[in-house]
Structure 1
Amino acid sequence: MNPNRDPGELADPAVQLGEVLRIAAFDDAGQGGNPAGVWIGAALPPAAEMQRLAHAVGFSETAFAAREGEGWRVRYFSPESEVPFCGHATIALGAALARAEGDGRFALQLNAAAITVEGRCEGERVQAALQSPPTRSRPAPPELAERALALFGYTREDLDPRIPPALAHGGADHLVLALNSRAALAAMAYDLEEGRAFMLGHGLVTVVLAWAEHAQLFHTRNPFASGGVYEDAATGAGTAALAGYLRDLGWPHGGAIDVIQGEDMGMRSRLKAEFGDAPGGSIRVSGTARMMPLC
């Protein structure tokens, strides 16, 4: 952030306070990506109003941000509920803040964690990176994994035995199911209401379905029925959780993995997760973002 700029002055006059911006996060060479709403204002609206706006925008998440001290207070809402952390909406927020404030790193206070997001403008696109909340993982209970497999039409034979089912956290809770073929990933299908009941009943924000093309390249899909969304095109929180689990598992990640998501939706997205070997450490998730038309 430019320290010489008046707090009420915006670097980009197209970014208006209180206006819901529409930004595609984690796009792939200017195409695809996951649309997020971003609202920046002097103070956060009441929760009911944020929920109403998120429902009206209709994207899987909308981020709401207001300046608080030296940083920003941030909350995230899906069309149907508040979520504790959303990666792609954070990347979109980083893009909006870079356009409004100038390139920099911005401190964000979430409901239950303090993180940062960086943004650097490159024409109409923005390079952005977030540092996730702390991560953790543990084996998924066998009965939970069996219920998830049945929900999505899989059996144990569809799993990659190198990456057992796990509960993983990277700011939000996810179930990770690693599949043994790209064809199995492409075949994912489920009933939205059944999926919603399953995720809400087990405290899951999404299910991360993943296939390893090789040790450092993953293809993923993220059903988000808990938020009323069949599938997300790019999921930074899910990618952080997956990366943290792979680190805990001793996977030969070499310090980073690339993730391709949204391809089966026709919204191909690219994410990069970078991380060390320290258990519980934050994950750096990066990509690009672009502004979308307002109508």
Structure 2
Amino acid sequence: MAITPDILRYTAFSSDPAGGNPAGVLLDARGLSDAELQAIATDIGYAETAFVTKPGSEEDKQHNVIRYFSPIAEIPFCGHATIATAVALTERDDAGTFTFETSVGPVSITTTTEASGILATFTSVEPAVSPIDHAVLTALLGLVGIDSSAIDTNFPPQLSYAGNTHPIVVLSDKSTFDQFTFDPAAMRTLMDAQGWAGTVTFLHQLDANTFEARNLFPAGNITEDPATGSAAASTGGYLRALDPADTPRRITIHQGRHVGRPSVLLVDIPTQGGIAVTGTAVPITA
């Protein structure tokens, strides 16, 4: 089908249209069927497209119902498309605090307009961290051609949920982190078998509060995500579970270098409650 002309295109977690993670945004998707939503997302081909299926009323423009679709399936939650949608709404309706009703629960987003552009911060649902089955972890590491000796011993692998479930693996060696490869079809098979709707998150620690991320997400023509807000929130939940005493804190996550779209995600980890992820978004005009 032809792309709906009202689809907006933003890139999130970068002030450069050539960086960040592109997202489609449809601010009024009322009346579209699930099949039509999926067809539009597939046609656009971005990692996710956000659809406001019930826009806010004239009395409460900042309360919206939203759904997210990748090129192959509906996704429970998408951080970068949330940031992009909040920026688009702010450009239309001014800055403020928005509530997005998502399939995983209500998500609060606050936007501010600064000299450098519009910043948006979403606060995730309550995170939850659980172990990764040993056999599943072994299979995952095998798909990227490494074994458990590559894991940073300060960071045991876990599953972390903050809207989507992300396996989180921290690698100690930068060259291993930079150079691993994987077969997208085999990775997708494992992800589907485990019910991982989000990304597979590999991290490398740069300093005490700075990480670089590679988020594997084989979907359509995509293999790696340039910026993953839900994985950033899940990383915040993971770090808090690992060391609750080291909160509140802010970490910075760099992502996208490996796919040529550099991104920066700011993650605020409170002592309890949802994880706050901040970034900007700008229109893609070409």
Q: In structure 2, do the counterparts of structure 1 residues 72 and 254 end up closer, same or farther at CA, with 3 Å as the change threshold?
A: closer
| CA displacement at 1:138 relative to structure 2 | 1.2
Choose the corresponding residue for 1:272, options 248, 251, 266. Answer: 266
| CA displacement at 1:123 relative to structure 2 | 6.7
In structure 1, distance between residues paired with 2:262 and 2:56: 35
Q: Deviations over 1:169-213 (max 9, x none)?
A: 010111111100221111131111111100000011211100111
- In structure 1, the residue matched to 2:25 is 38
- In structure 1, the residue matched to 2:236 is 243
TM-score w.r.t. length of structure 1:
0.88
TM-score w.r.t. length of structure 2:
0.91
Asked if 1:209 corresponds to 2:181, the answer is no
- In structure 1, the residue matched to 2:191 is 199
SS in 1 for 2:205: strand
| CA displacement at 1:253 relative to structure 2 | 5.9
The AA in structure 1 aligned to 2:73 is S
Q: Deviations over 1:99-142 (max 9, x none)?
A: 11111111110012101122234478321111111101012111
Asked if 1:291 corresponds to 2:283, the answer is yes
Unaligned runs of 5+ in 2: none
| Mapping 1:60-75, distance limit 5 Å | 60-65=47-52, 66-68=54-56, 70=60, 71-75=63-67
In structure 2, distance between residues paired with 1:184 and 1:168: 23
- In structure 2, the residue matched to 1:10 is none
Identity of aligned residues (%): 32
- Matched-pair contact (CA < 8 Å) for 2:29–2:51: no
In structure 2, distance between residues paired with 1:77 and 1:116: 20
Q: In structure 2, do the counterparts of structure 1 residues 44 and 212 end up closer, same or farther at CA, with 3 Å as the change threshold?
A: farther
Q: In structure 2, do the counterparts of structure 1 residues 40 and 124 end up closer, same or farther at CA, with 3 Å as the change threshold?
A: farther
- Matched-pair contact (CA < 8 Å) for 1:108–1:115: yes
- In structure 2, the residue matched to 1:178 is 170
In structure 2, distance between residues paired with 1:19 and 1:123: 28
In structure 2, distance between residues paired with 1:266 and 1:260: 12
In structure 2, distance between residues paired with 1:108 and 1:225: 26
Unaligned runs of 5+ in 1: 1-16
The AA in structure 2 aligned to 1:21 is L
In structure 2, distance between residues paired with 1:226 and 1:144: 21
Root mean square deviation of aligned Cα: 1.9
- Matched-pair contact (CA < 8 Å) for 1:99–1:121: no
The AA in structure 2 aligned to 1:267 is R
- Matched-pair contact (CA < 8 Å) for 1:28–1:270: no
In structure 2, distance between residues paired with 1:283 and 1:227: 29
Asked if 1:219 corresponds to 2:219, the answer is no
- In structure 1, the residue matched to 2:41 is 54
- Matched-pair contact (CA < 8 Å) for 2:13–2:21: yes
| Mapping 1:84-95, distance limit 5 Å | 84-95=76-87
- In structure 1, the residue matched to 2:153 is 161
SS in 2 for 1:38: strand
The AA in structure 2 aligned to 1:26 is F
In structure 1, distance between residues paired with 2:169 and 2:264: 20
Q: In structure 2, do the counterparts of structure 1 residues 174 and 283 end up closer, same or farther at CA, with 3 Å as the change threshold?
A: same
Q: In structure 2, do the counterparts of structure 1 residues 201 and 26 end up closer, same or farther at CA, with 3 Å as the change threshold?
A: same
The AA in structure 1 aligned to 2:79 is G
- Matched-pair contact (CA < 8 Å) for 1:135–1:170: yes
- Matched-pair contact (CA < 8 Å) for 1:124–1:291: no
- In structure 1, the residue matched to 2:227 is 234
The AA in structure 2 aligned to 1:190 is F
How many residue pairs get aligned? The number is 276
| CA displacement at 1:68 relative to structure 2 | 4.6
In structure 2, distance between residues paired with 1:253 and 1:261: 23
- In structure 2, the residue matched to 1:260 is 254
In structure 1, distance between residues paired with 2:189 and 2:223: 13
- In structure 2, the residue matched to 1:8 is none
